[in-house]
Structure 1
Amino acid sequence: MLADFEIKQITNHKDYPYDLLLLADETVAAIHKYVFESMVFVVQEKQLPIAVFCLYPIDTDTLEIKNIAVAASHQNRGLGSKILQYIQETYCTQYPNLIVGTADCGFDQIRFYERNGFVQYGVRTNFFIENYEQPIYENGQLLKDMVLLKYQSQQP
């Protein structure tokens, strides 16, 4: 699955790859709201970081993907799907519910998660307005609401 890559958990906050984390979140301040309480992983190719993902345990059954980002040089090659598959295979026996949130106008991101087995289950109204100091625009639209998606493990 990720045979050509190495996945390493980062335990020292000084080693967080902010250049990659900022691909999926707008500000360092927003990243700091979750990163210190998350499990942070970097995906490396030839010892160079090419992707990152942060997992935050909500409770004993639910794990939230707080950040998942792939370097521009490695996008559109299926690496994001491979990372999701790795997360599902590695953590869904312990956490049968895997959730993620993305902007309601992030159509590509929503399709990406749906292609990987996630289904929409809710909305956090005004999330981006209430949690970011500056307005954020994506696809020419002001980000307001967060769409919530869930992957439920088929494990017994």
Structure 2
Amino acid sequence: MGESAVLRLKHPQEELPKELLLLADPDWEQIGKYLDQSSWTVAELDGMIIGVCGLMPLEPAVAEIMNAAVDPAYQGKGYGKRLILSALEQARTDGYKKVIVRTGNSSLDQLGLYQKCGFRMIRIERDYFVNNYPEPIFENGIQCRDQVILECTFNI
């Protein structure tokens, strides 16, 4: 990331760019279920939000990364990794012992990114996207059918 790029927590009244949120989750109804339940870190470059990452509490010791997304014009430059690592640091600081993230079987770049950030695959929910999203999702020429769940644990 360049010197002018900043990671910061979202202000409570600040709107997140809908187009960014829809990159990671194409169903606005699903996004609405966690949007206000999560704390958000944004990547900002020259006053423009180019990336987002939410962290939602699930249990006292467990949080979930929600909707990590970077504007396509800025992908592949380390912004996504910094957002994920920032969310993990926030979770560790807040006393969580484990963070999970869920993604699709067809999200090949995201699966690689999460593993580079310390996540390990723990479970697959077959046909999750087929059963929970109104329209078929395709990425990398693959239908997104199954949800892959990964976790990162901390030795606190």
Q: Is TM (by shorter chain) over 0.5?
A: yes
Q: What secondary structure, in the 3-state scheme, does the structure 1 residue paired with 2:52 have? A: strand
Q: RMSD over aligned Cα, in angstroms?
A: 1.9
How high is the TM-score relative to the length of structure 1? Answer: 0.89
Q: What secondary structure, in the 3-state scheme, does the structure 1 residue paired with 2:109 have? A: helix
Percent identity of equivalent pairs? 31
Query: What are the Cα deviations for residues 110-155 of structure 1, in whole angstroms up to 9, with x where unaligned?
Result: 1111111110001122210121111111222221110000011132
CA distance in 1, matches of 2:40, 2:83: 13
Amino acid at match of 2:16: Y
Structure 2 residue 54 is matched with structure 1 residue 54: yes
Q: What secondary structure, in the 3-state scheme, does the structure 2 residue paired with 1:33 have? A: helix
Q: What residue in structure 1 maps to residue 122 of structure 2? A: 121
Amino acid at match of 1:64: E
TM superposition shift of 1:39: 1.7
Q: What secondary structure, in the 3-state scheme, does the structure 1 residue paired with 2:30 have? A: helix
Show structure 1 runs of 4+ deviating over 3 A: 1-4
Q: What residue in structure 2 maps to residue 37 of structure 1? A: 37
CA distance in 1, matches of 2:150, 2:2: 24
TM superposition shift of 1:55: 1.3
Q: How does 1:130-141 map to 2 (within 5 A)?
A: 130-141=131-142
Amino acid at match of 1:130: N
Aligned length: 154
CA distance in 1, matches of 2:111, 2:65: 14
CA distance in 1, matches of 2:69, 2:7: 15
Q: Do 1:62 and 1:98's aligned partners in 2 also have CA atoms closer than 8 Å?
A: yes
Name stretches of at least 5 consecutive residues in structure 1 with no aligned partner.
none
Q: What secondary structure, in the 3-state scheme, does the structure 1 residue paired with 2:36 have? A: helix
Amino acid at match of 2:30: A
Q: What residue in structure 1 maps to residue 68 of structure 2? A: 68
Name stretches of at least 5 consecutive residues in structure 2 with no aligned partner.
none
Q: Do 1:10 and 1:42's aligned partners in 2 also have CA atoms closer than 8 Å?
A: no
Query: What are the Cα deviations for residues 96-115 of structure 1, in whole angstroms up to 9, with x where unaligned?
Result: 10110111122221111111
Q: What residue in structure 2 maps to residue 28 of structure 1? A: 28
